[in-house]
Copies of this chain bind each other. A is one copy, B any other.
């Protein structure tokens, strides 16, 4: 079973266990729509990659960590799409939850997914109770009021916005949690794994910006040139294409070099680089690999 299949099965199981047949039928449909629409599952894949590099001694705990991160990510998308925020019509190629099921069910589905993310951790750590608190605190911090997704989103409501803080929190928080949670799920000390996630969170953001100027709309499944068209801040607007590619190389080198010594460290390094290469349009991917080799000596 490949990793994506493993994640989809664990998500399906969590949603089924979390609701049961007696939940209100429309709520069940809204939650399934929010979670089980095809998606890249970047965060849970990263979490499992780290868990596997650390030995993955209890796959049920690793799955639970990965699933909880994705449930929280889905919850944040459902609430971000609400009319009072982005008022978005589509998400992952489907109507947003509030367009398909109404605003009330979108609020409730998001709330319920947050609760389910935490319940799911408890259900799967009964054989390893000492792993529950670290996992809970890692994912809680990633989405919470202090420096998690909720805080990041709330900076949008301030008149004096610290935009760097805002972007760091919105993009990096769940990535940093993904690597920490992968290690904690496998019984390792999570702290040394935080840098990898934080660097990759920023790297994905830069890669996204590069795809927006150089990508193929059909291959990406979404229109390109959107950042420039909407005057959005992006690494390309700030640094130019070459500068942004250089920044990406630096971030990936830092990410790869931060990987703590563990049974699968070399495999994980190769996975991280291959994933980033795959994200870029082909000519840019070649450039990226050349510069990366040079930078790593």
Using a CB–CB cutoff of 8 Å, the interface residues on chain A facing chain B are 18-20, 22-27, 31, 75, 79, 82, 84-85, 101-105, 107-108, 110-112, 114-116, 118-119, 121-123, 125-126, 129-130, 132-133, 136-137, 140-141, 143-148, 150-151, 153-158
Contacts and interface: CB of A to CB of B under 8 A. Distances in A.
A264 to B, nearest CB: 28
Nearest to A160: B25
A181 to B, nearest CB: 13
A116 B104 contact: no
A154 B105 contact: yes
Given A27-B150, A27-B151, A84-B107, 13 more contacts: A26-B154, A26-B157, A79-B107, A85-B104, A111-B111, A112-B145, A114-B114, A115-B145, A115-B148, A118-B136, A119-B144, A122-B137, A132-B136
A228 B118 CA distance: 40
Given A85-B104, A126-B133, A150 B25 contact: no
A150 B112 contact: yes
A87 to B, nearest CB: 11
Contact of A18 (B27, B101, B108, B146): B146
B157 A105 contact: yes
B143 A115 contact: yes
A18 B82 CA distance: 25
Contacts of A75: 111
A84 B103 contact: yes
B143 A24 contact: no
Nearest to A107: B79
Given A84-B104, A107-B84, A112 B27 contact: no
A141 to B, nearest CB: 8
A112 to B, nearest CB: 4
Query: What are the nearest 5 A-B pairs in CB distance?
Result: A27-B154, A119-B140, A112-B145, A84-B103, A24-B154
Contacts of A111: 75, 79, 110-111, 114, 143, 150
A240 B31 CA distance: 40
A233 to B, nearest CB: 18
A107 B111 CA distance: 10
A103 B153 CA distance: 13
Contacts of A18: 144-146
Nearest to A118: B118
A246 B146 CA distance: 49
Most chain-B Cβ atoms within 10 A of its Cβ — which of A82, A85, A102, A104?
Answer: A104
A133 B105 CA distance: 28
Contact of A25 (B24, B108, B147, B158): B158
